Structures are given as structure tokens and as C-alpha cells.
Structure 1
Amino acid sequence: MTTATEHVAAAAAHAPTSGEYIKHHLGHFRSADQPGIVDFSVINYDTIFWSVAMALLTCLILWAVTRRVTSGVPSRFQGAIESIVELVDNQAKAIVHGDRSFIAPMALTVFLWVALMNSMDFLPVDLFATIFRALGIQGAHGEPFFRVVPTADLNGTFGMALVVFGAMIFYNLKIKGLGGFIHELFTAPFGAHPALWIFNFGLNLIEFAAKTVSLAMRLFGNMFAGELIFLLIALLGATWVGFTAQSVALAGLHVALGSVWAIFHILIVFLQAFIFMMLTLVYIGQAHEGH
């Protein structure tokens, strides 16, 4: 008969280290290994899949609401969506001084889409590893890498930020015209003197770049940090080797900290979606204003 100590030793011999566990869960299901920080030939399939899936779910939710709209007492579901619509519309009115027929629905879609992508962080960190193990799915180095939070991938948040950048440029051209936009690039904010053109242009380029980078990094940083904390908390439960004092204590700490962080993370999930939506409105609203 094996002792508890022998069970602990056997489990420790086969279990991955903390670093290996975290590295595996932060790895992507991608088209090829990425040797450097930047490689545009590598595609993260999991980020694309869950981004598209949450986009389709966003459309499905909005479609379901429009199909069930009633003029009487609304259902809880309809009331919740109407509250979000009113919130976004009020923010759009306060920020964008112009035609909002496209901007307000876009902001609503952005808010719901980002909120749903962020909410994927509430799934158990080992859910898909367990599913892959049960189905016998193996990658080149054991269980395949797979991540389900698109906003914890800088590629995903940068893609969204570039779309917002494109919207900024589009509305600058639409509102001010090509000539007006170019004139503003070279004459604002320091003035129209030719000696200041290079400084104005350089500052405006930095401003556009800073807006795009900060929009992507803010969402990515918050969601990546939240995902990492969930993994660290999961490591407490991963030390379970039986009803020993240490295992029971760490498992209890795992449940307590996991519950507290999950509740707090609800605020982060929706706050970051709201911030991303607000900054999108602010950046597009600035295109409607001249220096």
C-alpha cells in the first residue's frame, strides 16, 4: 500500500511546474511557431474564432431583441438591452455633435462585443484542456494550446484599435474634406506659419498613433492581467494530492480567492468594454471638431 507521501511524490513527478502550466495556458493555437515579437505571417486561430463567435452572438442578441420588442411592459431581457441602448445613445449625444445614425449603433455593437469577449474570462481556466483530454486531442507537445479570451491577445485588441483608427480618418475626411483635413494636419495646433508645419504634422501623427496604441494596450493589459491572476489562483487548486492538511488549505484558498476575484472581475469586464466604447466615441467625436 502506498503512503500519502508517495502519492505526493508521484503527483509532483508528473505535474507540470508553475511556469510550464502558465506558459501552456497563455499559448495560442496558431498557424506556426512565432520566433519573434512581430510576425505577420502567424495567425492565432483561437483569437479569430472566438472574436467572430462573439461578434455573431452580439448580432444574435440584438436581432432577438428587435424580434421581441413590445410596446407594453418589456421583459427583463428587453429592459436590460434598452437600458444599454439608452446609456450608449446618451453618451453618443454628449460626445458626437453631428449625425449619429451610424455612430451610436456602432458604439452599441462595440460595447456588447467587447463585453462578451471579455466575459470569456469567466470560463474555468482548465475547461478546454479537460475537454481536449477527454476527446483524446493531442498537439505536437501534448495538449494543444488554446485561449478563449480574444481581448487578452494584443493582436485582437490592436485589430479593433486599427478599425477605430480607420473610423477616425474616415470621419475626418467626411466632415472636413481632404483639403481641410490636410490643412489641419499642418496648421494645428501651433498655427499656420510655414515654419511650424513640420511640428504640427509630427505632433498630429504622434497623437493618432498614441490614440491607437493606448486603445489597444489598455484593453489588452487589463484582460491579460486578469487572465494571469485566474491562472495563479488555479495553481492553488492544482496542488491537490488528497485530503492532506496542505491540500485542503490550498483548495480552500483557491475557492475563496477565485470567488472574490471572479466577482471583482465582473466590474473589470464591463468597465473595460465601457471605456473602449467611450474612447471610440471620443476619438470619432473629435473628428467632428476643428482646431
Structure 2
Amino acid sequence: MTISSPSSPQEYIKHHLHSLQFGEGFWAFNLDSLFFSILLGVIFLSIFHRVAHKATTGVPGKLQCAVEMIIEFVDKTVKDMFSGQNKLIAPLALTIFVWVFLMNLMDLLPIDFLPYISQQLGLPYLRVVPTADVSITMSMAIGVFLLIIIYTFKYKGVKGFIKDYTLHPFNHWAFAPINLLLETVSLLSKPISLGLRLFGNMYAGELIFILIAALIPWWSQWVLSLPWAIFHILIITLQAFIFMVLTIVYLSMASETEDH
């Protein structure tokens, strides 16, 4: 079975949903997702470093204008949503937005383009959309979860951390066990919803492209794939924005003190 000549639509879909893995079971590494996520991160850093190094106060070029617009947009979003003062939040938000957007953008590549090239190089499988891999999205969400814990201890201390999870929403010591249960569920739901939301939307988008390619003759696929790709531009941008905004909101909640 080849990518260009699948034995059946079912085999075609199954082939495209299988990752290039190292290892087995829970500890298996999806090498394709790791490769593309790291590659896109390097591209992001390289572009922004180049623009920052060659920035001019005169008439800026198109790339500098685009980068400045993104930075101003993220900076305004952070100022509107983050109540505290922290030098890490804006760079973190910028990194999340651009990195997630670039990973989502891979979904607009022709579905067989890179997998076909990889097959000619001897690789049996290749998935090119890192955010359609739950291990990538949940890893990012766990990183945000750890920052929530760190910021809570940093701004509220051990005493404030305990009070947050034992005296809310019912401000009485007798309700401490109930409060602890409710707040623990609320805390754990943040990274789970953050990671699964991004994964679910990108996986669904990838699956629709695969279904179009598998079930419709190649000469007529553009009738559905082109409108979906145009609509998908909104989805990939919106999902990057939502991931960034929720990260800012969660960290803002973690850093809020009674003085605020």
C-alpha cells in the first residue's frame, strides 16, 4: 500500500493517523510530532531574532511590520488580562501564540505532500501537525499547570496556597474537605481542558482533510478542501489565541492576592 494508491479508504485513513514512533505503549515517542514542533520552534526563534537584530527606526520592511503587529497585539492582550506585574508573562504569551499558530498551520499543507516524500526516504509513517497529537498538547498544558502552581506559591506563599484550596468557595473551616475536593478538581481541569481543546479541534480538522482525500477523486478534491482550508485559517488562529488567553488568565488568577 502506498500513500498515492491506498488499497482502501480505511487503510488510507489509518495510515495517515499513525505516527512515526519510537518505543511502545505509554512511553512511546512520536518522533514526527517532536521533530516538527522543535523545527517550528527554531523557525519562530530564528525569524524573531533576525527581525530584532535588523530592526530599523525608519520605514520598516514587511516582515518587521508583521512581527511588530504580533508583538503589540500580544502585549495589549496581556495588559488587559494579567492583573499583576511580571516580566515573564508577555514573552510566554508571545511564544505560545506564535508557536501554536505555526504548529496549527502545518494542517494547511497538502495532506500527502510530506508523507509521500518521507515514504520515498524509507519512513513508513509521518504526521506533520504536532497539535493534532495529544501528547504534544498535553505536554504544553502540563507546563502551564506547573507554572500555575509555581505562581501560586510565589505570590501567595504556602499559607495563601492552603487558604485558596481549603477556604474557597465556602469560607469556613468545617467545609475544608469539600473546598479541597472542589478546588482540586477545578485545578486539574485547567490543564486537561487546555490540552484537549487544542488537540480535539486540530485532530478534527486534520481528519476532515484526510476524509476528503480518501473518499473523493483527486481531481475534484479542491471543491471541498479549498473552502475548508480557508475556514480552517480562522480555526488555527483562534485556537492559538485561546491557548494563549487561557494561559494568561490562569496565571493571573494564580498571582492574584487579597490586596488586589
* TM-score, scaled relative to structure 1: 0.83
Aligned AA for 1:266? I
The structural deviation recorded for 1:15 is 3.5
Report SS of the residue matched to 1:189: coil
Change (3 A) 1:200 1:133: closer
Q: Match of 2:177? A: 198
Q: Match of 2:110? A: 124
2:193 corresponds, among 205, 214, 217, to 214
2:45 corresponds to 1:65: no
CA distance in 1, matches of 2:151, 2:162: 13
- Between the two proteins, the alignment pairs up a number of residues equal to 254
Change (3 A) 1:17 1:201: same
2:37 corresponds to 1:51: yes
The structural deviation recorded for 1:185 is 1.3
The structural deviation recorded for 1:272 is 0.5
The structural deviation recorded for 1:85 is 0.8
Percent identity of equivalent pairs = 45
CA distance in 2, matches of 1:150, 1:114: 9
Long gaps (5+) in structure 2: none
The structural deviation recorded for 1:165 is 0.4
Q: Deviations over 1:43-73 (max 9, x none)?
A: 1111111111111111112101101211122
CA distance in 2, matches of 1:231, 1:204: 40
Q: Match of 1:166? A: 146
Moved over 6 A (4+): none
* TM-score, scaled relative to structure 2: 0.93
Using the TM superposition, name which of 155-164 and 227-236 deviates more. 227-236
Aligned AA for 1:179? K
Q: Match of 1:189? A: 169
CA distance in 2, matches of 1:110, 1:208: 20
The structural deviation recorded for 1:290 is 4.0
Q: Deviations over 1:148-172 (max 9, x none)?
A: 1110011110000000001111111
CA distance in 1, matches of 2:146, 2:60: 37
CA distance in 1, matches of 2:112, 2:24: 22
Q: Deviations over 1:95-149 (max 9, x none)?
A: 11222311101100110000000011111111133213434x15xxxxx121111
CA distance in 2, matches of 1:202, 1:122: 42
Long gaps (5+) in structure 1: 1-13, 139-143, 241-250
Q: Deviations over 1:201-246 (max 9, x none)?
A: 1111111111111101110000000000000111245x45xxxxxx
The structural deviation recorded for 1:32 is 3.2
Report SS of the residue matched to 1:287: helix
Instruction: State the Cα RMSD in Å.
Output: 1.5
